């Protein structure tokens, strides 16, 4: 199994989380979505549906509302789906079977390509409000950020997997993976959304496990911020450089580093890094 397969969780899981968040925050009756595969959007995640008509539906590019936004890369909505003249009506059966009337579709665009489409819909005559639209767009932006980060991790790891490291190149590969780990921790630290931050930290932890295995059962319990600082120190950063990378004050970095050293029973920065790696806390 490759590093990429080990590290990348299902994008559908992240999509499901955003759909549930929109349904909870907006109180909209129906929220659903799916991933884009080639020229087809496959609907796979649902909240509030009463039939199975939409489940697994393949929406082709330019067809219907979803195909339209998938092709344009821009959100669009219709207040009366069945009578809308701005879209094709290839999917009227499953849509009207759900009693859906007002629909908003938001594409999740990464690197100028639609990767996911999110929908919110009502069954009554009232159109979707601006607040619901704002929430769906916000969820789409979060999902785009997460997919972008996952793509970048995969891209870097694929570059490393092009050749099998020899004894001479293995140290360089390890250092590159450590650099990726530290960079991801820095991105996670600056992420404003709590759930996105948590997912990024989970990717960091999986990367560490790929490189060094599970942490020892009796390893010291370091906080995420202490590990953030140590990961930068492990790359040779000064306190000031670590502070700049993590958007922290130098004194704050110094405090986290001091706490980590105490927990690791280390007397220097170098000893702290070595101890953290020995315990499986850092790659």
Tens digit of pLDDT for each residue in 172-220?
Answer: 667 777 777 787 877 777 777 778 878 887 887 777 776 777 776 778 8
Which has the higher per-residue pLDDT, 3 or 192? 192
The SS3 of residue 177 is: helix
The residue ranges of every structural domain in the chain are 3-144, 163-278
What percent of the chain lies above the pLDDT cut of 70?
Answer: 91
Scan for tokens 């020229």, then name that residue: 39
> Please, which pLDDT band fits residue 29 given cuts at 50, 70 and 90?
very high
Tens digit of pLDDT for each residue in 204-263?
Answer: 777 777 677 777 677 888 888 898 899 888 888 899 988 888 888 999 999 999 999 999
What percent of the chain lies above the pLDDT cut of 90?
Answer: 51
Tens digit of pLDDT for each residue in 74-113?
Answer: 999 999 999 999 999 999 999 999 999 999 999 999 999 9
Q: What pLDDT does residue 171 have? A: 65
> Please, which pLDDT band fits residue 161 given cuts at 50, 70 and 90?
low
Other beta carbons within 10 Å of 218: 6
CATH architecture of 3-144: 2-Layer Sandwich (3.30)
Q: What pLDDT does residue 1 have? A: 42
Q: pLDDT at residue 278 above 90?
A: no
> Please, which pLDDT band fits residue 127 given cuts at 50, 70 and 90?
confident
Mean pLDDT of the chain: 86
Fold of 163-278: Arc Repressor Mutant, subunit A (1.10.10)
Rounded mean pLDDT, 23-27: 93
> Please, which pLDDT band fits residue 156 given cuts at 50, 70 and 90?
confident
Q: pLDDT at residue 169 above 60?
A: no
Rounded mean pLDDT, 56-76: 96
């Amino acid at each position: 199994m490759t590093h990429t397969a080990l590290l990348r969780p299902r994008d559908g899981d992240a999509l499901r989380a955003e759909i549930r968040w929109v349904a909870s925050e907006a109180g909209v009756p129906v929220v659903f979505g799916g991933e884009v595969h080639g020229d087809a959007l496959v609907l796979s995640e649902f909240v509030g549906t009463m039939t199975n008509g939409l489940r697994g539906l393949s929406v082709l590019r330019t067809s219907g509302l979803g195909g339209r936004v998938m092709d344009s890369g821009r959100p669009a909505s219709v207040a009366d789906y069945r009578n809308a003249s701005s879209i094709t009506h290839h999917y009227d059966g499953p849509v009207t079977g759900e009693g859906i009337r007002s629909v908003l579709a938001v594409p999740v665009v990464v690197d100028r390509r639609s990767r996911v489409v999110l929908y919110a819909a009502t069954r009554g005559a009232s159109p979707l409000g601006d607040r619901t639209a704002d929430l769906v767009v916000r969820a789409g932006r979060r999902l785009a950020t997460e997919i972008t980060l996952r793509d970048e991790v995969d891209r870097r790891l694929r570059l490393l997997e092009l050749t099998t490291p020899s004894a001479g190149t293995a140290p360089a590969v390890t250092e590159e993976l450590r650099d990726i780990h530290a960079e991801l921790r820095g991105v996670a630290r600056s992420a404003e959304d709590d759930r996105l931050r948590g997912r990024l930290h989970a990717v960091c932890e999986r990367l560490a496990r790929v490189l060094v295995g599970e942490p020892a059962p009796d390893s010291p319990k370091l906080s995420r911020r202490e590990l953030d600082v140590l990961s930068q120190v492990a790359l040779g950063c000064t306190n000031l450089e670590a502070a700049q990378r993590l958007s922290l004050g130098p004194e704050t970095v110094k405090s986290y580093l001091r706490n980590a050293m105490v927990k690791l029973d280390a007397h220097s920065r170098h000893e702290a890094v070595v101890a953290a790696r020995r315990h499986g806390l850092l790659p």
